[in-house]
Amino acid sequence: MKRVRAIAFKQKSTTLYFFTMSATELEPLCYVEAATRDNRKGLQRVTEPSRLREIGEYLNSGEGALLPNNIILNLKSEVAVEDNGNGLVTLAFPSTEGDFAFVVDGQHRLFSFEDEYRQLPASETFELPVVALSNATEEMVGQIFVAINVNQKPVNRDLLTQMKAILGLLDTDIEKTAIELIHALDEDKQSPFYSRILRFPKEKNKWIKVNQLEPVLIGFLSPGGCLFGKTNAERKRILIAYLEAVKASFPDAWDDEDGNAYSLLQTSGLQIMLGLLPDAMQRCDFSEGFSYTKESFERQLRPLVESSLVGDWRKAAVEDAISVSAKRKLFLGQLKELLKVKPPAP
């Protein structure tokens, strides 16, 4: 029998128990019930092996790879609660493996310690913090599950990216460079994005999000991308010149920061326009002697300015074309075709 000391505490009329336990000892005692067509009362998501592997790899990545958030369990009647007085109890789990504790929250963290996914040495003890209810009703467990997974607002993605950058936790050098470029575009007074990138929640007069820009820049910086192999100074200069050209080419759309009549500065519109940088650079290579200036980009964007497809980025012209992913992909392809380099006929 596995016995664990715990602290008992109350929230309203419910007693909860806080304790820590070795992950490899706790995991075989717990279970989940995923919501399926045949089990509609199930609360949890289906356990995803890929997520279990990711956590296993993360935990083995270094000394700072921790899981400080507590697991939430509902202990079944087989787990005895022995009152020791002074707010302390002993939780006595059966000596065999089995379904003795339902995982209300934290299933992937906990089950990443199964032998199939665990990468930490078997000799290493990894304690997990746990908050447990005892024999709580299905209704109460369901309310807690909803409160954790539905009602609570997730961390702002842009803030999370910003914090990862500050703490040096971005996964790849390309991601780090992309964030550095985004910060440079926000801080350089010559940039059309100067002081307009939303890097922290509730900043005012910001209309571009970090996570709008990051995936596009990562594509540019990756091997084969249009900015691969260039210095950071060159990358910033090219991006600023291109954005200046876009601003000059579509002045009314650029001034419509609220997106009342134009779609250029909406997430989809901005990503599409940025996605055309490689095509504009190719045109500059062919027609401008590899010169990437505001003026050269502006000349090479003329086919877009004159096209009814773009319609000056008025909502009436492009709203349907950028409404869903499949249409956006088709629209981007059409715009790339407009910018395609066409050597003169012999």
CA dihedral (154, 159, 162, 167) positive or negative = negative
The low-confidence residues of the chain, meaning pLDDT below 70, are 34-46, 150-156, 158-159, 162-163, 165-171, 343-346
Q: What is the pTM of this model?
A: 0.63
Alpha carbons 292 and 304: distance in angstroms, whole number? 18
Instruction: Tell me the C-alpha distance between 178 and 219, whole Å.
Output: 9
Helix (H) or strand (E) holding 185: helix 173-187
Structure tokens at 162: 């910003």
Question: What is the pLDDT at residue 193?
Answer: 94
Domain locations in the chain as residue ranges:
2-151, 157-339
Return the pLDDT at 155.
Answer: 66
Residue 45 in tokens: 């998501």
Residue in the structure block whose two tokens are 């507590």: 70
Segments of 53-160 assigned E as strands: 71-75, 80-85, 88-93, 101-105, 127-134
**Helices 267-275 and 210-221 meet at what angle, rounded to 10?**
20
